[in-house]
Structure formats: structure tokens, C-alpha cells
Amino acid sequence: MNKQFMSARGLTLAKTGGSAFGGKKIIIANWKMNLSIKRSLEFIKKITKSKNEVVIAAPFTFLCEMSRHLKKKKIKLAGQNVSQFGAGAYTGDISAKMLKEEGCSYCLVGHSERRIYFKETDKEINQKILQLLRYKIKPVLCLGENASQRAKKQTNKIIQKQLKAALKGVKNPQEIIIAYEPIWAISTFQKSKIKRSASLKDIKEAHLMIKKMLVSLCKNKARQIKILYGGTVNPQNSQEILNLKEVDGALVGGASLKISSLNAIIKST
Ligand code: PEP
């Protein structure tokens, strides 16, 4: 067996139909409900050049101004959420078409904070993905198990359910990016002061398992689907995480709010 095909629980990249891994990585900064327009504009000026694809998932109200300032830079914009509806009487919602008009190339979908605090369902997440694909915005599908599901060894079952529901009716799954974000590894859900990411072994195993599921759901298109890791990625661990062949990039929350940390992460591979 070629050494590059690492095995985890008997599964190899070779068996999962090859790899979309390698080449440049995608680093998505999830700013959540933080910063201000003024600070965001100062921030993006300081982002260093990188061979990687750098994406900022900013609050809706920053997008228009940021996209004007990002025209010359290679940095891309993402929404943090999108309506499951196309248009109409849905007070407070933002449609995929509106995100497109604001210059978004990506949009997060199904982030654990939305699933937990806003009770988003798998069905709504699927509808959001279909809306985004209509407007050629790449959905970044966030999924992952919580601590008690992991303790009960339900990780595979949970991810399989989330994945299957999210991909229902999707004709071009290769347009979707998956972000494996085990809830127990996301910094804001951790009670202790010292925040921990998943171990490299956990990350490798989960990504290989997701790839295998994608192969069974999407056949040969699975090869092209990128899988990012999210959960306490920071300048101390980004290099070892991003250098894993199984990891196509990172979704970064807390550490993306500090320019020195984000720059260190995007330059770490
Ligand atoms: C997130 O919320 O998507 C996330 C990965 O956060 P953090 O990096 O702070 O764990």
C-alpha cells in the first residue's frame, strides 16, 4: 500500500475513491456576531498574502462594504447563514440571491450554533443548500457530533444522518464543502479555560469516515468534495492539522478574530 494512503480503522483514501486532498487549503474565518464595519475594514487590510484560499464569513451588515474593499485582494466572502426561502414575506431573512449581490462566494450552513440555539433542522439545512446552489454560492455544510453522542459511540450515525439529509436532491455535490466540526471541540462550547481541538487521530478518522460516506452517497463526485476541520484551530495547532492529507482546510472561530492569529494560520501551510 502506498504510504500516502493513511489508514484509519481499516479505511484508506484509496478505498474511498481517491482524494481531493492536497494543493491549496481553504481557511474560513467565522467571525460570528463580532467586530464592527470599521474594525472589519481595518482587519482585512492587514491580512497577509497566502497561497491558500482565504474566506471571511462576516456578519451580513459588513458584506457590502467589505466586498468593495476586497475587490483587489484575493480574499473571498461568505455569509454565515441564509434563508431556506427564495423571496417573499420572511421578515428578517436574507436570501441566497441577496448574498450573491453582496459578493459572497461561500455561505456557512448548519453551524452547530444555528442547529442548537436556533433549532435549525436537517430539512431546513437541505433547503438552504439548494437555495445557495441555485445562485452558485458554495455551501459550507457544518456537521459533527456532540460530546454525549461521541461518548455513546454515535458519531458515525449522527454524521451519516446529517450528511444524507443535507445532500437530498443535490445534483452537484462537488459544489459543497463539508466542515467537520465536532461540537465538543468548538471553543465556545467548552467549559474549561484551556480549549482543546480534536486530536489528529480523531480528525483523520472522522474525515476518512466522512469521505467514505460521501463515496456511497455521491459516487465518483465524492472525490472532489473538500472536507475542512473546525474546532479550536489556532496558531499553535494549525500547521499539524492543515498538513494532514485528509484535511482540505479549516473553519476557524475564536482565533480568526485576531489578525496576528489569522495570519499565522493562513501561513502555516
Ligand atoms: C466555529 O465555531 O465554527 C469554530 C470552529 O470555533 P472555534 O475555532 O472558536 O472553536
Which residues 6+ apart lie within 8 Å of 232 measured at CB? 185, 186, 187, 190, 195, 196, 197, 254, 255
User: 200-203, long-range: CB within 8 Å, 24+ apart, which pairs?
Assistant: 200/240, 200/241, 200/244, 201/8, 203/229, 203/241, 203/244, 203/246, 203/247
Task: Report the pLDDT value the prediction gives residue 118, as an integer from 0 to 100.
Answer: 98
Ligand 1 pocket: which of 186, 194, 238, 256 to mutate (most atoms <8 Å of CB)? 186
If you average pLDDT over every residue of the chain, what do you get? Answer: 92
- pTM > 0.95: no
Ligand 1 pocket: which of 192, 232, 236, 265 to mutate (most atoms <8 Å of CB)? 232
Beta strands in 31-132 (DSSP E): 53-57, 76-79, 104-109
Residue nearest to atom 2 of ligand 1 (CA): 253
- The model's confidence at residue 10, banded by pLDDT at 50, 70 and 90, is very low
Nearest to 27 by CA among 47, 43, 46: 47
Instruction: Tell me which of 10 and 83 has the higher pLDDT.
Output: 83
Contact 231 CB / ligand 1 (< 6 Å): yes
Contact 215 CB / ligand 1 (< 6 Å): no
Q: Which atom of ligand 1 is nearest to the CA of 195?
A: 10
Contact 44 CB / ligand 1 (< 6 Å): no
CA dist., res. 109 & res. 175, Å (int): 13
Q: Average pLDDT in the 22-43 region? A: 94
To the query of whether residue 101 is one of the catalytic residues in this protein, the response is no
pLDDT in tens, 195-248: 889 999 999 999 999 999 999 999 999 999 999 999 999 999 999 999 999 999
pLDDT at 108 > cutoff 70:
yes
The CA 180 to ligand 1 mean position distance, Å, reads 11
How does DSSP assign 154-209, residue by residue?
-HHHHHHHHHHHHTTT-S-GGG-EEEE--GGGSGGG--SSS--PPPHHHHHHHHHH
The CA 262 to ligand 1 mean position distance, Å, reads 13
pLDDT at 7 > cutoff 50:
no
β partners of residue 251: 28, 230
